[in-house]
Amino acid sequence: MPAPIFERLDHAAAIVQSEELAISLSVLVDQGRVYFPNVMRDRYGDEKQESRQGYRNALLDPLVAAIGVAEGQEPGFDLPDPNGKYGTNRNSKALRLYLNAFLSLMERVLLVQASHQSLIARLKEVGDENSAQRLQRLLCPEDGQVPPGHRYWLGQEGGPQIPSEGAIFNE
């Protein structure tokens, strides 16, 4: 994602630097059409090839918006960001917003949380309580079971030991 480029460089230089990223993201959007094809094909684009008829799946729209920003389109909003997590200019903020929106939409489409709970329940049903508990700690930690986080894996928290997945499973 070209968000850091928009933080480091002036807008014109950021666009030049983002050109290849925009092309790569465009290719990924087209690949995404295989899994999330256009909808309402009978309502729009009769003159186009079949795969281009209809409207792009809404799941892919945040990525297409990111391509637009990477190619130089200015977002028509400036996201409030009092904690500075999204960047200092509206292009960086918009790109972070698009990334987060895409991830949220993907989680919903893939039913991630429901799938995890279902898998854990299935392990319990078949009597594999140990695997169910380990998976619960990994995928759906309960209150008080805060995952170690990236700082642990970087060796910045938890002492001088070599990071291990055992920390996730409380082993």
pLDDT tens digits, one per residue of 89-116: 888 899 999 999 999 999 999 998 899 9
Asked if residues 18 and 2 have their Cβ atoms less than 8 Å apart, the reply is: yes
**34 phi/psi in degrees, rounded to 5:** -65, -40
Q: Is 67 exposed, middle or buried (0-12, 13-18, 19+ CB in 10 A)?
A: buried
Task: Give dist(CA 116, CA 138) in Å, integer.
Answer: 10
Asked if residues 79 and 126 have their Cβ atoms less than 8 Å apart, the reply is: no
Task: Give dist(CA 125, CA 121) in Å, integer.
Answer: 6
pLDDT score for 2: 55
pLDDT score for 35: 93
Is pLDDT above 60 for 18? yes
**CA 17 centroid distance within chain:** 22
Q: Dihedral of the CA atoms 4, 6, 10, 14 (nearest 10)?
A: 100
Dig out the tokens for 11 from the structure.
Answer: 């807008």
* pTM for this prediction: 0.76
Identity (one letter) of the amino acid at 48? K
> Tell me: the pLDDT tens digits for 128-166?
999 998 888 888 887 667 788 888 888 888 778 888 888
